[in-house]
Chains A and B, each alone.
Chain A
Amino acid sequence: MTKKTKTICSIIAGLVIAAFIFYVGEGVSSSSMLRTVLQLGTIYALVAVSMNLLNGFTGQFSLGQAGFMAIGAYTYAVLTIPVDKKANVYYLYGIADSLANVEIPLWLGIIAGGLLAAVLAAIVGAPVLRLKSDYFAIATLGFSEIVRILVGSSPFNRITNGSLGLNSIPGNPSYYTPFIVAGICIAIIVLILTSSYGRAFKAIREDEIAAEAMGIRLSTHKQMAFIISSFFTGISGALLAMYLGAITSTTFPIMLTYNILLIIVIGGMGSVTGSILAAFLVTAAKEWWLRFLDQTMMIGDFQVPLLRTGFRMVVFSIILMLVVLFWRKGIMGQKEFSWDGLLNLFKRVKNRLWGTKKGGTLNG
């Protein structure tokens, strides 16, 4: 394929995706599953890509995503709930005086969510990033739990509304908001990853000792990756709050982190396009295609065994195990989507299907 045809293909693919999003936005009823999957999938795609920046590209295995999402979501919610609705929201505990008259524009709220997550990452990162692999994962996991418990605890009642959570959070101004915000954020992450700093991150993933011997300062670069990742995770948290309209501390359990981990493992650790692809696949499967597993099903008088509430997650866990066992690199591995790669895939599939019939030998 020449460079020109590739560019044309990319433009066409971009237009098709845009047209599809537009069609779902304009032509499909607002209660459609397709809309949910697209919007939620986009938000998960952003978290997955920013988690991948840290876990897949820099090689620092963090499990703190739910915590940073909670910070982003709560910051957005607290700062943007309309002043006249605040009395209703905080009916039980009242609201902190300094926040009573605060209502900032939505876009500023999103950025504030990201910034607060980044600031906390900077504070937590300094000690935590000294830890290696497993210990770093445990420490970030602990951080995530601390955040979740703190936002639901009584000392913060007048800010986070304690265990009641927040509602009346201003929703998406338009159906397209998550796509635009997530699109811009992912584009920035891709730019970071392809810059010299992105290469340094990859060097740290590959071999810390060699990276250090190449003059890359480990502490600052790890800190940078951690802060950037947390910033965009915070933004995605704000988007989630925007999408849901109401949040409590239980919206951000450890399971949320595992869900995103599932997405990046299936998509491929170290692949942006893999994460995006997997985000939509996993969201569609979870919210839509596998829903039937949670409902009891009767065929005549026979009740299909196992199908009941919660079985969906069992199937999900099995899928994760299978991926890790047999398909460790996920959909994309460390590669990114390319037209040549797609062409090769078609050729391989074609060989598989038709190659043997002609009696030709098959190589992998």
Chain B
Amino acid sequence: MDNVKPSVLRLEDITMQFGGVVAVNNLCLEVRKGEIIGLIGPNGAGKTTAFNVVTGVYAPTNGALYLNDNLIIANYPRGKMKEFYQGENKGKYTKSMILSPDRITKMGVARTFQNIRLFKDLTVFENVLIAKHMNIKANIFSATFRLNRKEEQWMREDAMSLLQILGLDKNKDDIASSLPYGKQRRLEIARALATKPSLLLLDEPAAGMNPQESDELMHFIGRIRDDFDLSILMIEHHMQLVMGVCERIYVLDYGIKIAEGNPAEIQNNPRVIEAYLGVDE
């Protein structure tokens, strides 16, 4: 039924193995245009590892990753990993394509981090402005001698309007680390949006927030999806938020996908309940 919407992100049989530890095993996941997808699971289930594979921080051990139906990342067990590989689908992939995180950001995938990673000693405005640097046309000479005034002007205006939309314009000249926690989270999202993504990855956006703040965040996430024409994939532990905002949810446990479906299905899925609450023996 969802087949009408084009696919934005597709993970096929992604396996990530560190030494002898399989952090993510054979993960298949799809994000379609305009969707808000949740990725949940107990601590250590491999959610952030999956994010790091999507954003190019790690190269997967096996599997393929498509962005807008174009293959961008692929790998198969090579070298020493050939012997140690414990995942499935060995031999299915024979191609190796690895991209660095900056390339993936340029392709329209932006992210936030679990433990906020702002440019702490720079101002709020500079934080957003830096995200505009990746599309700069001027080389270092013309930028130095200010031959790109128009471009610079455009970058500043763009960054400023983004701050206004997200309600951070009053804090423009504040040092990022001096902002209250909720605003730091919001600034991190603003900074990610400044790269003009088509897919936004949020890693525990509600971590450390009180119920009221996370309620605001829920509306905020829905709003930016509409305003910026985004698809969103988010990791979150806050069940109320996940159930409230996500259209589909994937559940990971020990690196394996144990369930997927809409919030109601997930809530009643016995395997999910088992993973979260444990079982009586």
- Measured CB to CB, the residues of A under 8 A from B are 188, 191-192, 195-197, 199-200, 202-203, 206-207, 209-218, 224, 228, 334
Contact = CB atoms under 8 A, between A and B. Distances in A.
A224 B140 contact: yes
Interface stretch (B35-43, B128-136, B247-255): B128-136
Contacts of A218: 102
> Which of B111, B143, B144, B195 has most chain A Cβ within 10 Å?
B144
B100 A212 contact: yes
Given A213-B111, A215-B195, A203 B130 contact: yes
> Which of A203, A206, A211, A216 has most chain B Cβ within 10 Å?
A206
B204 interface: no
B119 A203 contact: yes
A232 to B, nearest CB: 12
B155 interface: yes
A214 B195 contact: yes
A213 B143 contact: no
B40 to A, nearest CB: 22
A209 B140 CA distance: 22
A200 B136 CA distance: 11
A196 B143 contact: yes
Interface of B: 55, 57, 100-102, 105-106, 110-111, 113, 117-122, 126, 129-136, 138, 140, 143-146, 148, 152, 155, 191-192, 195
Chain A at the B interface: SS class: helix
B144 A188 contact: yes
A207 to B, nearest CB: 5
Nearest to B55: A213
Nearest to B139: A197
Nearest to B56: A212
Nearest to B138: A196
A352 B138 CA distance: 49
A20 B155 CA distance: 41
A199 B130 contact: yes
A269 to B, nearest CB: 11
A228 B110 CA distance: 30
A216 B110 contact: no
A197 B140 CA distance: 7
